[in-house]
Each structure stands twice: as structure tokens, then as C-alpha cells.
Amino acid sequence: MTATPGPDDRTSLLDHDRRFFDALIAADADTLRILLSDDFLLVGVADGSIATKHDLLGAVSSGALTFPAIDSFPDEAIVRRVGDTGLVVGRTSMNFTAPDGTTFTAASRYTHVFTTTPATQGWRLTSAQGTEIKPG
């Protein structure tokens, strides 16, 4: 059963999305620790690699992974809610430096999966996957 989110759900999910991107830009591991579920998984846009919450926090905290810029387009986002799961399909333009020192610039389409439970008292980002949008 797919449900269209109410205005409060859309606003809340897009706010969490923005806070995630802002925390990446700011290298704010403390905020990421709160925003991400304990079983968070990230599929990298550059190479399809998988990173856990622990991996991402470590890379961001150490400065091995940096995000000088992430532009998102919330007005274009498709937001859905299914029970205790929120889905955001959006678009970004980002610059980042990988742990091996390579820099990467990409336009991407992403899917963020948020979950909520009484224990978490709010949305937590559980899964994120980006797909590069090739020019042309």
C-alpha cells in the first residue's frame, strides 16, 4: 500500500534530507550519528561501493571523505510514505573528494529510505543510493 504523504510528512522528510546533505558538507559527524539509523547503508554514486554508518562516520570524521558542495532540488523531489517508511527520490549536483584523494563531480538521482519507530521518535535515514546522471 503506497500512500501519498501529507504535507507534514513531505516537509519533515525533505527537512531530514536537507539536514543529511548539510551535515555532509559541514563534516558534522555528530549530526550524522543522530540522522542515520544504526543499520544505515550507503551505495556510492561514484563506484557502487557499500558503506555502513560506521564507515561513513569514520570517513567524514577523519576528513578522508569531504563534500565541498552538494546542491539538491527539493521542489523536484518525489516523496512517498508507506507505513513507517518514507521515500525520497531526488536529484543532486555534488562535488566530493574520496578517501583515495580523487575528486569527483556528479549530477545524480538518489533514493533515500527513511524509517521511524516509537523508539527513534522521528525519521532516521536507513538507506541511500545514488545513480550518476550522465551528461548528454
- Report the predicted TM-score, pTM, of the whole model to 2 decimal places: 0.88
User: Which helix H or strand E contains 21, and what residues bound it?
Assistant: helix 7-26
| Pairing of β 85-97 and β 103-115 | antiparallel
Per-residue confidence (pLDDT) for residue 106, from 0 to 100: 83
Per-residue confidence (pLDDT) for residue 105, from 0 to 100: 84
The size of the chain, in residues, is: 136
Per-residue confidence (pLDDT) for residue 1, from 0 to 100: 46
Domains recognised in the chain with CATH numbers: 7-132 (3.10.450.50)
**One-character DSSP codes across 98-123:** -TTS-EEEEEEEEEEEEE--TTTTS-
Q: Which residues of the chain have pLDDT under 70?
A: 1-7
Q: In whole angstroms, how far apart are CA 122 and each of 15, 82, 111?
A: 12, 15, 19
In angstroms, rounded to a whole number, what is the distance separating the alpha carbons of residues 34 and 120? 10
